[in-house]
């Protein structure tokens, strides 16, 4: 399968070549542009993340924490709605994501880890392989969130 990823300053874009392969050579350019624009891992500040956690929009999002279980035991975002998908366990959950049985590809999806690196890997997978359209990576991760927004959750 023809797949070209362009990595630009931590943002992963799916090139128009993928859209041409997916939609065929007679693709409407407006559709192509819309698909290319939506297939980007977006950046979210920890301040924006904090507003979502405290607001009504939290229930319309799926929040994925990709840290290890031991890390969750040290510091975690409160709430039963946080989905724990450790990056190191991706072999056990990735196929479920691809088939749509684990996550909703239509829902806004926020990815979080300790510093924002592992969550970017998962976010990139969701966009490039699972074809999610609305994916955000929380920049700086839970460490920056604790430092800048809610120190009560602690640090590690």
Distance of CA 10 to the CA centre of its chain: 12
C-alpha to C-alpha distance for 10 and 98, rounded to whole angstroms: 23
> 111 an active-site residue?
no
Q: Do the Cβ atoms of 66 and 86 come closer than 8 Å?
A: yes
The number of residues making up the chain comes to 156
Q: Which residues pair with 40 in a beta bridge?
A: 13
Among 113, 123, 126, 149, the active-site one is 113
Give me the active site residues, please: 113
């Amino acid at each position: 399968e023809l797949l070209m990823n362009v990595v630009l300053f931590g943002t992963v874009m799916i090139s128009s070549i993928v859209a041409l392969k997916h939609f065929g050579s007679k693709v409407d350019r407006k559709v192509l542009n819309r698909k290319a624009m939506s297939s980007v891992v977006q950046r979210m500040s920890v301040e924006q993340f904090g507003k979502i956690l405290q607001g009504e929009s939290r229930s319309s999002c799926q929040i994925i924490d990709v840290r290890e279980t031991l890390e969750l035991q040290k510091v975690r975002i409160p709430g039963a709605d946080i989905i724990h998908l450790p990056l190191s366990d991706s072999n056990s959950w990735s196929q479920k994501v691809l088939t749509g049985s684990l996550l909703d590809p239509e829902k806004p999806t926020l990815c979080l880890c300790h510093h924002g690196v592992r969550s970017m890997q998962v976010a990139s997978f969701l966009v490039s392989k699972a074809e999610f359209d609305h994916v955000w990576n929380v920049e700086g991760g839970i460490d920056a969130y604790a430092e800048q927004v809610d120190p009560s959750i602690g640090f590690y």
